Structure 1
Amino acid sequence: MHELYNMTWEEVAAAVKSGVDTAVLPVGATEQHGPHMGCGMDTAIAHRLCRDVAADTPVILLPTLPYGCSIGHSKRWPGTMALNPKTLIDVVSDLGDWVVSSGIRRLIMVNGHVTNAAPLRCALEMLRARHDGFMVALVHTAQISERVKKAHHDDAEDWHANHAETALMLALEPDIVRPERLADADDPDRTDGCVFSHPVNRTSLNGVTGTPSTATAEQGAQLYGWMRDDLTALIQRAVSEESPLEHSYFRSVLSDAL
């Protein structure tokens, strides 16, 4: 496996020269996950999933980013450590510049936290506009495929620290879960019919939305197997993908006529 954390610069250069020119950036978050689960859940799933998939695909695995855009969780519950959206955009777009400078042609951001989506999409837009031909993708761990998405939304539309996330951690990182708190951790989704997007302090009593009490390690293992298989298949397609057309980002059609 090509894990940047353990590679020398010569090994990175050799990997790129040999054709390993796709990088994977896991992006997590550090935020409250109710009374029953540790604050590192989003980072744990992004890191574990990407590391396992990188072992089976020709990619360079970048170090996991453990902070994200979690400001919607408010300061009601201690433990959330958040970046503002513009900060996350800058961090990821800066990292992307350095990815390009290493000779890498493709970057796949694998996001483990729902509200990282908008900043990461902005970073994607900036990177592909700055670097002609640089291909950037954004994949959300809870939306890798339809079956993965359905499993995450089974107990709540506006879910958090719910059945799916708790089951995943019971299977993969059991030390992050407090089993004795599961029985009273459930809290319903109160956002049905809402026009506004309310912060979590105004939608949840305990930081949870969903039914973590129903989660089992067996369910988590099955869900993780789907996530791993489906992300592996996606990345295997990505490593050889080329853009449909080769037109320059910076060259106008007016220039073509000259």
Structure 2
Amino acid sequence: MPSSHRSYALSDLPWTEVAAHLKHDRRLILPVGACDQSGPHLPVGAGTCVAESLARDLSQEFGVLRAPTVHYGVNLPGEETYAGTAALRAKTLHRALNELLVQWSAQGFDEFVCITANAHGPHAEAVATLRAPGGRVRVIEALTVDLSGHIAGAPGPEHAGEALTSLLLHLRPDIVRMDRARDFTMDPDTARKFEGGRLKRIPLASGGAVGQPTLASAEKGRAIYEHILQKIRLKVFIAPPPDEEEE
């Protein structure tokens, strides 16, 4: 088991140590976040916190190098009107990430594990279609893991709802404002448009959050986080299917 006292972050290591590490392990974890609003109770880019935490914990547990976080992604329609948000177009994000993978591939990295916690369709597609010359790209969308066994609220679309709010209560309780959390559920037709990416913006009455964040708790967040971690461990680091196609 790799030492928990050693950092595997590229930003903490000189290039000589990175080169030495590449002689026995050519994997690289890349967390991809987003600078998007997450309602009045969570910080801008709450999903980035989740992606970074997963990347850091997996990097330390398995001794895999970790790239600096990409803090910008593709946001939901209309989010540019929320103060502090900033987004890239899907093709811009895709091109930027591909250019990074090309450079790392040329240095000897041959397997990339991209972790994101933004389930917005265009964002997820931009990351899921990445390619690395001569290498393999695995993409983990953390919030698409089946969490039904950990969620108390009614099924439906979420954005800064029970799951993400619980995760932040576990990971960074100091930046969660639960007194500002408000539940907002959609009628079936609006929900279908939201999930299909056809809604022009989240309804203003929602305050930016969709779902039932008032049901969140730190205990749920811990269970959800460990559930997601275990899914990634099994799929990517412990027992990946030998014939799995590149993602």
Pair in the same fold by TM > 0.5:
yes
Judge conservation of contact 2:114–2:140 (CA < 8 Å) in 1: yes
Query: Does 1:47 find its partner at 2:46?
Result: no
Name the counterpart of 1:177.
176
Change (3 A) 1:220 1:71: closer
Q: Does 1:188 align with 2:185?
A: yes
Taking the aligned partners of 1:108 and 1:26, their CA distance within structure 2 comes to 8
Q: Are positions 1:121 and 2:120 aligned together?
A: no
> Counterpart of 2:229 in 1: which secondary structure?
helix
CA shift at 1:35, angstroms?
1.2
Matching residue of 2:237: 236
The 2-side partners of 1:72 and 1:5 are apart by 33
Q: CA distance change for structure 1 residues 85 and 56 in 2, over 3 Å: closer, same or farther? A: same
Percent of matched pairs sharing the same residue: 27
Q: Distance in 2 between matches of 1:63 and 1:226?
A: 24
* SS state at 1:23 partner: strand
Which consecutive unaligned segments of at least 5 residues does structure 2 have? Answer: 1-6
Counterparts of 1:50 and 1:201, CA distance in 2: 29
Separation of aligned partners in 2, 1:46 and 1:211: 22
- Give the superposition deviation at 1:226: 1.1
C-alpha distance in structure 1 between counterparts of 2:239 and 2:10, whole Å: 19
Separation in 1 of the partners of 2:12 and 2:148?
Answer: 33
By how many angstroms is 1:58 displaced? 3.5
Q: Which TM-score applies when normalising by structure 2?
A: 0.85
Offset at 1:113?
Answer: 0.9
Aligned to 2:15: 9
| Aligned alpha-carbon RMSD (Å) | 2.5
Contact 2:202–2:208 (CA<8 Å) still a contact in 1?
yes
- Kept in 1, the 8 Å contact 2:30–2:68? The answer is yes
Output the CA distance in 1 between the equivalents of 2:26 and 2:197: 42
Q: Deviations over 1:94-126 (max 9, x none)?
A: 11111102201111111111122011123x1xx
Cα distance change, pair 239–64 in 1 and its aligned pair in 2 (3 A): farther
Q: What is the deviation of 1:172?
A: 0.8
Q: Which moved more, 1:113-122 or 1:160-169?
A: 113-122
Larger Rg: 1
Larger deviation: 43-52 or 234-243?
Answer: 234-243
Match of 1:67 among 72, 76, 81: 72
Partner residue, 1:28: 33
Structure 1, unaligned runs of 5 or more: 245-258
The residue aligned with 2:158 is 159
What is the Cα deviation at residue 14 of structure 1?
A: 0.6
In the alignment of these two chains, the number of paired residues is 233
Paired letter, 2:93: L
Aligned equivalents of 1:220 and 1:208: distance in 2? 17
Q: Which residue of 2 aligns with 1:107?
A: 112
How far 1:4 sits from its partner (Å)?
Answer: 0.9
- Amino acid in the other structure paired with 1:2: Y
SS of 1:47's equivalent in the other structure is helix
Displacement of 1:138 in angstroms is: 1.0
Contact 1:36 1:181 in 2 (8 A): yes
Shift of 1:152: 6.6
Cα distance in 2 for partners of 1:43, 1:142 equals 12
> Secondary structure of the residue that 2:82 maps to in structure 1?
coil
Give the TM-score, by structure 1 length. Answer: 0.81
Going from structure 1 to structure 2, the CA distance change for 1:134 and 1:225 (only over 3 Å counts) comes to: same
Task: Give the whole-Å Cα distance in 2 for the aligned partners of 1:212 and 1:9.
Answer: 43
1:96 aligns with 2:101: yes
SS at match of 1:42: helix
Q: Is the 8 A contact 1:142 1:149 kept in 2?
A: no
After TM superposition, give the deviation of residue 91 of structure 1 in Å: 1.1
